[in-house]
């Protein structure tokens, strides 16, 4: 029989549809044809992107030239722009403000054929440091309230360029999904005087049927109320609410488990399209006892249709316990 499961953080329900239960092989889709032609992110085409904001490159090599291992550039077609004033205003019952913010692209490797599952562990760690560097820099702009870091891998997940990259959008408001998490965490903390994510970590380590992997500093799980098949979360075992406040050794541990998780997803689901998002505390929010930063990875395996849009319920045809088992048992080279 199918189950209704309630997300303990935001309070939303999902349907775990056992009758529709799907094994990993049933999600495998035809690979989209590789795009050919010009790539603005490849070395030698640095002048085809806006000037880099930061780049990791050998000392002495000039900016916006080849030789880099990672580049961060403004998005050429930004959703929000850094220039201007917010000019908040009301129009009757409606609220508006100018589209002030930041929209940046993190080019994760100079090699066009790389993915985050194939780059070196050191390159992955550099990427995590780049995320931190950009959050710390954008914190200085008092107009900005939140930095959302995300990745669209594959055309079906929303990527418009093949070359491996992730994105950052800094917003003058806190996104609704994040605010729901903050509110849910605070409500739980006010009732139990504990962080709900820390309690989830303790329970998952005790039960272990949704644990994919762990190391000294991080835990990877398929969440109890997974919204989609093979949804995975990566959580720091040490309580901290702001990603940029992680300790140096934790970025190395995070690179290890994050890369391992993506390799497992690639192995089990044969290189699926996916999205991942970093959920961290709002800018200048300070460390809090009730919120816990984490990454959420959602493979793009099912379609959101009328029921989902109309009800805000998700239907997941693969129980998270089964997904965790497939990922845990994957044999990696």
Per-residue model confidence as pLDDT tens digits over 10-20: 888 888 886 55
Cα(45)–Cα(256) distance, integer angstroms: 31
Q: Which value, to the nearest 10 degrees, does the dihedral of the CA atoms of residues 30, 278, 227, 204 take?
A: 120
Top pLDDT among 221 and 21 is at 221
Q: What was the pLDDT predicted at 33? A: 52
Domain assignment of residue 51, yes or no: yes
Closest to 302 measured CA to CA, from 227, 225, 222: 227
List, in sequence order, every beta strand (DSSP E) within the chain: 3-6, 13-16, 54-56, 70-74, 89-91, 94-96, 102-107, 146-153, 165-171, 211-214, 218-221, 232-236, 274-279, 294-299, 314-316
Residue at token pair 């990791």: 56
CB-CB contact of 98 with 86 (8 Å): yes
CA proximity to 324, closest of 199, 195, 205 = 205
DSSP class of residue 102 equals: E
Q: What average pLDDT does range 7-11 have in this prediction? A: 88
Report which DSSP code applies to 61.
Answer: P
Instruction: Indicate the helix (H) or strand (E) that contains 190.
Output: helix 176-192
Closest listed residue to residue 75, CA positions, set 47, 43, 51, 54: 51
From CA 118, how far away is CA 120, in angstroms rounded? 6
pLDDT score for 22: 61
pLDDT, tens only, 156-197: 999 989 999 999 999 999 999 999 999 999 999 999 999 999
Asked if residue 67 is part of any domain, the answer here is: yes
Q: Is residue 34 part of a domain?
A: no
Structural domain includes residue 82: no
Of 23 and 196, which is predicted with more confidence? 196
164 in a domain, yes or no? yes
Within a domain: 50 = yes
Residue 301: domain span: 3-17+40-76+96-328
If you average pLDDT over residues 95-122, what whole number do you get? 94
* 8 Å CB contact between 244 and 137: no
Say what percent of the chain tops pLDDT 70: 94
Average pLDDT over residues 201-227: 97
Q: Which two tokens stand for residue 89?
A: 């205003």
CATH assignment at residue 45: 3.30.428.10
Mean pLDDT within 153-157:
91
Active-site residue numbers? Answer: 165
pLDDT at res. 126: 97
Residue 60 confidence (pLDDT): 85
pLDDT digits (tens, 9 = 90+) for 266-302: 999 999 999 999 999 999 888 899 999 999 999 999 8
Structure confidence at residue 106 (pLDDT)? 98
Residue 165 has a pLDDT of 97
Report yes or no on 33 lying in a domain.
no
* Angstrom distance (rounded) from CA 128 to CA 17: 35
Tokens of 130: 């780049």
- The CA distance from 128 to 126, in Å, is 5
Q: Cα separation of 256 and 263, whole Å?
A: 11
Strand 314-316 relative to strand 13-16: parallel, antiparallel, unpaired? Answer: parallel
User: Domain tally for the chain?
Assistant: 1
The C-alpha angle 238, 240, 244, rounded to 5 degrees, equals 115
What DSSP string runs through 231-279?
A: -EEEEESS--S-GGG--HHHHHHHHHHHHHHHHHHHHHHTS--EEEEEE
Within a 10 A sphere around the Cβ of 135, how many other Cβ atoms? Answer: 21
Least confident of 26-35, 40-49, 152-161, 229-238: 26-35
């Amino acid at each position: 029989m199918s189950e209704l499961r309630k997300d303990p953080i935001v309070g939303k329900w999902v349907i775990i549809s056992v009758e529709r239960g799907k094994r990993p092989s049933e999600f495998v889709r035809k690979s989209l044809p590789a795009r050919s032609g010009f790539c603005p992110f490849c070395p030698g085409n640095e002048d085809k992107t806006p000037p880099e904001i930061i780049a990791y490159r050998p000392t002495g090599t000039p900016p916006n030239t080849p030789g880099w291992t990672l580049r961060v550039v403004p998005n050429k077609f930004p959703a929000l722009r850094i220039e201007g004033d917010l000019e908040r205003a009301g129009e009757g019952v409606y609220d508006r403000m100018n589209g002030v913010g930041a929209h940046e692209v993190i080019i994760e490797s100079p090699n066009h054929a790389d993915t985050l599952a194939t780059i070196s562990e050191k390159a992955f760690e550099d990427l995590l440091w780049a995320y931190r560097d950009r959050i710390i820099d954008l914190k200085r702009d008092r107009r900005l309230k939140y930095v959302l870091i995300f990745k669209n891998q594959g055309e079906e997940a929303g990527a418009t360029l093949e070359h491996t990259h992730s994105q950052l959008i800094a917003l003058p408001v806190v996104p609704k999904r994040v605010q729901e998490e903050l509110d849910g965490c605070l409500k739980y903390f006010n009732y139990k005087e504990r962080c709900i994510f820390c309690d989830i970590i303790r329970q998952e380590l005790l039960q272990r049927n949704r644990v994919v992997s762990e190391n000294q500093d991080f835990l990877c799980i398929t969440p109890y109320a997974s919204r989609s098949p093979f949804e995975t979360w990566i959580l720091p075992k040490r309580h901290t609410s702001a990603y940029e406040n992680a300790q140096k050794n934790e970025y190395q541990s995070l690179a290890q488990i994050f890369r391992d998780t993506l390799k497992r997803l690639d192995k089990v689901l044969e290189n699926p399209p996916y999205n991942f998002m970093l959920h961290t505390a709002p800018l200048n929010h300070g460390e809090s006892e009730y919120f816990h930063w984490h990454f959420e990875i959602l493979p793009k395996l099912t379609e959101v249709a009328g029921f989902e849009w109309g009800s805000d319920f998700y239907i997941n045809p693969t129980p998270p316990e089964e997904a965790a088992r497939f990922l845990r048992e994957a044999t990696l080279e």
